[in-house]
């Protein structure tokens, strides 16, 4: 199942034209931007294990470390750097927190369902602490994996739609509404927004998408299959700059269903089964272990050796 197809479908969208149209897919955005960024950060990246297994990941140094500009790897490279694990495919095409997977010491790949109470606990207790204490060392990658309650499926469609619009609509060097700056490699400079005292790392230009994800987790009891898209529209319209009607229309039409199905397929292939959250942990390019349930910050950091 190709996530590429769903990204390319955005070409029909009226807000895309010329230069923007070339950045229709997240993968292409990163690949093209990465090539451009390569020249600007040449010499800033560390050594990279050519074998793609067991070596150190490419790193940025200095002020940009972990904030995106040094992310020069394509999606395929990221997967190869993480040992070709099924959970590590297409990481650049997922909402994430912190540095790019290729630039991070530790990578936490989490398959989560917006409707899953334990996922909400995981986000609240574990992910927030990872962001607070290791904003530049750990990359947290979010996969939509709607297998729990029925409303998780339309919610996942909305997340994918929001992400596609948000990431796809950002041009090179565009100043975003929240003050973050999208650079040429398709990643944002560090977002200094704080929530609950936790410093947010780079959000890959998906600030509104993350707001939506957190909104689902924080208000799970309010949602059901019948009202989730209406409430989503209301939230997006009041709390984000995204075109709420367009996002909800895309979600209702399952415009990005390929992306949702790709996430489900990746989860199944990785062995997530019907359990959420399921997390896969990588350190310095190597798969370490997987964990099921809302495991604690200490478990994650101990498993990653941080």
Partner 1 sequence: MSARRLRPRLPTRRGDWRLMGRTVRLVLGVPTYAVGALATSIVALSAFVVAQNFELARFALVGPLALDDRISILAGVYPFLGTSYGPVTGAALVCVAALAGVDAAMVVYHFREHGFGARESGGSAVGLALGALGAGCAACGSAVLAGVLSLFGAAGAGTFLPLEGLEFSVLALATLVLSVFWVADGMRGGEIRGCPVE
Q: Which residues bind partner 1 (CB under 8 A)?
A: 116-119, 121-122, 125-126, 147-149, 273-277, 288-299, 302-303, 305
Q: Toward partner 1, which CB reaches closer, 175 or 298?
A: 298
- Report the residue number, 239 or 298, with the smaller CB distance to partner 1: 298
Residue 148 Cβ vs partner 1, minimum distance, rounded to whole Å: 6
Closer residue to partner 1 (CB): 37 or 304: 304
- Residue 219: CB minimum distance to partner 1, A: 18
94 vs 294, beta carbon nearer partner 1: 294
Which lies closer to partner 1 via its Cβ, residue 181 or residue 275? Answer: 275
Residue number, 47 or 274, with CB nearest to partner 1:
274
Q: What is the C-alpha separation between 146 and 266, in angstroms, rounded?
A: 12
> Shortest approach of partner 1 to residue 79 CB, angstroms?
20
> 245: Cβ–Cβ under 8 A, 6 or more apart, which residues?
233, 237
- Cβ atoms of 79 and 73 closer than 8 Å: no
Q: How far is the CB of 274 from partner 1 (least distance, A)?
A: 4
Minimum CB separation of residue 20 from partner 1 in Å reads: 40
Q: How far is the CB of 244 from partner 1 (least distance, A)?
A: 29
Residue linked to tokens 């607070």: 132
- CB of 300 vs partner 1, minimal distance in Å: 9
Going by C-beta distance under 8 Å and a sequence separation of 6 or more, which residues neighbour residue 231? 222, 223
Work out whether strand 106-112 and strand 286-292 pair parallel, antiparallel, or are unpaired.
unpaired
Beta carbon of residue 181, minimum distance to partner 1 (angstroms, whole number): 35
DSSP-derived secondary structure for 156-169: HHHHHHHHHHHHHT
List the one residue out of 4, 24, 12, 15 whose CA is nearest residue 253.
Answer: 12
| DSSP structural state of residue 125 | I
Residue of 97, 66, 115 whose CA lies nearest to 221 = 115
Q: How many CB atoms lie within 10 A of CB 212?
A: 27
Cβ–Cβ under 8 Å, residues 157 and 257 = yes
Closer to partner 1 at the Cβ: 86 or 117? Answer: 117
Helix or strand holding residue 142 (H, E): strand 138-144
For partner 1, which is the closer residue by CB, 178 or 225? 225
Nearest of 303, 305, 272 to residue 289 by alpha carbon = 303
Q: Specify whether the CB–CB gap between 166 and 209 falls below 8 A.
A: yes
Token digits of residue 89: 């495919």
Q: Residue 61 has which token pair? A: 């140094």
């Amino acid at each position: 199942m190709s996530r590429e197809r769903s990204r390319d479908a955005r070409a029909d969208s009226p807000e895309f034209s010329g230069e923007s149209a070339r950045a229709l897919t997240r993968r292409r955005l990163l690949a093209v931007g990465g090539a451009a960024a390569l020249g600007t950060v040449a010499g800033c990246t560390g050594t990279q294990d050519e074998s793609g297994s067991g070596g150190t990941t490419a790193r940025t140094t200095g002020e940009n470390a972990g904030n995106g500009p040094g992310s020069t790897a394509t999606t395929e490279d990221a997967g190869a750097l993480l040992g070709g694990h099924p959970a590590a495919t297409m990481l650049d095409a997922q909402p994430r927190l912190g540095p790019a997977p290729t630039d991070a010491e530790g990578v936490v790949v989490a398959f989560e369902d917006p409707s899953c109470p334990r996922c909400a606990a995981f986000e609240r207790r574990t992910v927030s602490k990872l962001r607070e204490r290791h904003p530049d060392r750990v990359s947290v990658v979010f996969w939509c994996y709607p297998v729990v309650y029925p409303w998780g499926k339309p919610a996942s469609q909305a997340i994918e739609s929001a992400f596609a619009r948000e990431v796809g609509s950002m041009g090179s060097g565009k100043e975003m509404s929240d003050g973050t700056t999208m650079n040429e490699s398709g990643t944002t400079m560090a977002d200094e927004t704080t929530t609950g005292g936790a410093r947010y790392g780079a959000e890959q230009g998906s600030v509104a998408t993350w707001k939506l994800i957190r909104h689902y987790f924080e208000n799970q009891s309010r949602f059901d299959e019948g009202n989730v898209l209406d409430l989503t529209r209301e939230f997006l319209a009041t709390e984000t700059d995204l075109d709420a009607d367009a996002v909800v229309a895309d979600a209702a039409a399952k415009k990005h269903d390929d992306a949702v199905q790709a996430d489900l397929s990746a989860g199944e292939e990785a062995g997530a089964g019907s359990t959420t959250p399921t997390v896969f942990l990588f350190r310095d390019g190597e798969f370490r272990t997987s964990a099921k349930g809302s495991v604690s910050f200490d478990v994650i950091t101990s498993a990653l050796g941080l």
